[in-house]
Amino acid sequence: MLWLDTEASVTVQAPRMRHAVGASVVDRAKAGDTSAFRELYAAHHRQVARQLAFLVPRADLEDVLQDVFIEVFRSIRRFEGKSAFTTWLYRVTVHVAMKSRRKHTRARLDIVEDVPEQVDEKPRPDDVSLSSERQARVEALLQQLSEKKRTVLVMHDLQGIDAHVIAEVLDTNVLTVRTRLFYARRELEALAKGDPALAEYFEEKP
């Protein structure tokens, strides 16, 4: 099958001593130690930013990342250690992302962008990555979905999270997750087919 021919890579980065960030940092943060907050941010900011991609628009990523850590700092006392800290953090991230969407939809920057005129290249069969313009269009379509549908679609189809785990993170049941996923996929397909720059992806090849 095609995917077996991929050249997927696993890049190993320099190992570090574990005791720098561990359970004790969380305990210190729970006790209100400011330097522990700094350590938590240093250890997890990149991971949280990656998890926020597509859940929130690019323009909001910086603000939402900040909101996530404010929420972490504010509610860390309620973290009981029943799950791993990163699992709890992921849950906070998703919930803040959903809440931020509601907050930010009220007022958007009134900017008119001059997109340079370009000849739209056909996607090459050996290149799966989208051109920057197509990427921007797909991102915009994702943002048109309701936050519930988009969250499930991004978590399942882009982050590869199992429906059961999504249900747990969102405090709902698997059936609801599957239903939202079904409608999110159909809605995205319909939106993309209606976009002249993306419609060709849906043309049936003989």
Partner 1 sequence: MSAHLTDEQRDEVARGRSDATLDAHVAACAECRAGVADAKGRLKLLGGLTPYTLNDMAFRRVEARLMEQVEEGLPSPWPAWLKVVVPLVAAAAVLVVVAPWKQEAKVDLPASPVAVVRPAPKAFTPMVATFASADARRRGDDGAWSPVRAGTEVSGGIALSASRLILSGAQLTLSAEGDFATAGQAQVVLGAGVLAASGEAEVLAGTRRMTGVECVFRVERTAAEVVLEVASGDVLVFDESSAQRRSVKSPARLRWADGTALDQGVSETLVAFEGPKAPKAPVVTLDLSGLPDGTQVSIDGQGFGETPFTLAFEPGRHRVALTPRGQPTQERFIDLVGGAPFLLGLAPMESDRDVEAPEPDAAALARVLEDLRRQTPKLRACYEKWLKANPSASGQIDLVLVVTAKGSVKRAQVKGDPISPESAACLKTTAKSLVLSPLGSEQELEVPLVLTPGKR
Within 13 Å of residue 33, how many CA atoms lie on the same side as its CB?
Answer: 12
DSSP code at position 19: G
Our CB check for partner 1 shows the closer of 30 and 193 to be 193
- Closest to partner 1 by CB, 54 vs 170, is 54
Whole-number minimum distance, CB 108 to partner 1, in Å? Answer: 6
> Between 146 and 186, whose beta carbon lies closer to partner 1?
186
Q: Which is nearer to partner 1, 6 or 80 (CB)?
A: 6
Closest CB 11 distance from partner 1, rounded Å: 4
- The nearest distance, CB 203 to partner 1, in angstroms, is 8
What DSSP letter does each residue of 45-88 carry, written as one string? Answer: HHHHHHHHBTTB-GGGHHHHHHHHHHHHHHHGGG--SSS-HHHH
Buried b (16+ CB within 10 A) or exposed e, 113-147: eeeeeeeeeeeeeeeeebeeebeebbeebbbebeb
Nearer to partner 1, 121 or 162 (CB): 162
Structure tokens at 114: 């001059």
Q: Nearest Cα to 62, choosing from 106, 104, 112?
A: 104
Q: Kindly tell me which of 80 and 132 has the beta carbon lying closer to partner 1.
A: 132
User: In whole angstroms, how close is the CB of 80 to partner 1 at the nearest point?
Assistant: 18
> What is the C-alpha separation between 132 and 81, in angstroms, rounded?
41
Min CB(191)–partner 1 separation in Å: 10
CA 152, 94, 165, 53 dihedral sign is positive
Give min distance, CB of 97 to partner 1, in A: 14
**Of 168, 170, 134, the residue nearest 151 (C-alpha):** 170
